[in-house]
Amino acid sequence: MVPTSSYVALSGILFALGMIGVLTRRTAIMVFLSVELMLNAANLALVAFARSWGDPTGQTAVFIVMTLAAAEVAIGLAIIVAIFRKRETTNVDDLAALKG
Amino acid sequence: MILAFILLGALTIIGGIITIAAKNAVHAALGLVGTLLCVAGLFATLNASFLAATQVIVYAGAVMVLFLFVIMLLNANQPVTSRDPVPFVRELAGIGGTVLAGAFVVLAFTYKDPRPLADSAAALEGGSALKMGETLLTRFLLPFEAVSILLLVAIVGAVALVQRPAAQPDGVPDELEAPVGTAQEQRSFGPRAAGQPALQTGREGEVSA
For the stretch A7-16, pLDDT in tens is 999 999 999 9
Please check the confidence at residue B112 and state whether its pLDDT lies above 60: yes
Query: In this structure, is residue A55 part of a structural domain?
Result: yes
Across the interface, whether the CB atoms of B70 and A29 are under 8 A apart is answered yes
Q: Which residues of chain A lie closer than 8 angstroms to B28, CB-CB? A: 30, 33
Query: In this structure, is residue A72 part of a structural domain?
Result: yes
> How much of chain A, in percent, has pLDDT values that exceed 90?
65
DSSP letters for chain B = -HHHHHHHHHHHHHHHHHHHH-SSHHHHHHHHHHHHHHHHHHHHHTT-HHHHHHIIIIIIIIIHHHHHHHHHHTT--SPP-S--SSTTHHHHHHHHHHHHHHHHHHHHTT---SS-HHHHHHHTGGG-HHHHHHHHTTTTHHHHHHHHHHHHHHHHHHHHHHSPPS---SS---GGGSSSS-HHHHHHHHHHHTT--HHHHHHHHHHH-
pTM: 0.81
Query: In this structure, is residue A93 part of a structural domain?
Result: no
Domain span holding position A77: 4-88
Query: In this structure, is residue A100 part of a structural domain?
Result: no
B80 touching A (Cβ < 8 Å): yes
Across the interface, whether the CB atoms of B50 and A59 are under 8 A apart is answered yes
Please check the confidence at residue B180 and state whether its pLDDT lies above 60: no
The string of pLDDT tens digits covering residues B2-27 is 999 999 999 999 999 999 999 889 99
Number of domains in chain A: 1
Provide the CATH number for the domain around residue A25.
Answer: 1.10.287.3510
Please check the confidence at residue B125 and state whether its pLDDT lies above 80: yes
Q: What is the ipTM of this complex?
A: 0.91
Query: In this structure, is residue A96 part of a structural domain?
Result: no
Q: Which residues of chain A lie closer than 8 angstroms to B85, CB-CB? A: 93
**Optimal mutation site among A15, A27, A46, A90, interface B, most CBs of chain B within 10 A:** A27
Judged by average pLDDT, the poorest of B52-61, B64-73, B85-94 is B85-94
Hey, which residues 175-194 in chain B have their CB within 8 Å of chain A?
176-177
- For the segment B109-120, the average pLDDT, to the nearest whole number, is 87
Query: In this structure, is residue A99 part of a structural domain?
Result: no
Query: In this structure, is residue A56 part of a structural domain?
Result: yes
B47 touching A (Cβ < 8 Å): yes
Query: In this structure, is residue A97 part of a structural domain?
Result: no
- For the segment B114-125, the average pLDDT, to the nearest whole number, is 85
Please check the confidence at residue B200 and state whether its pLDDT lies above 60: no
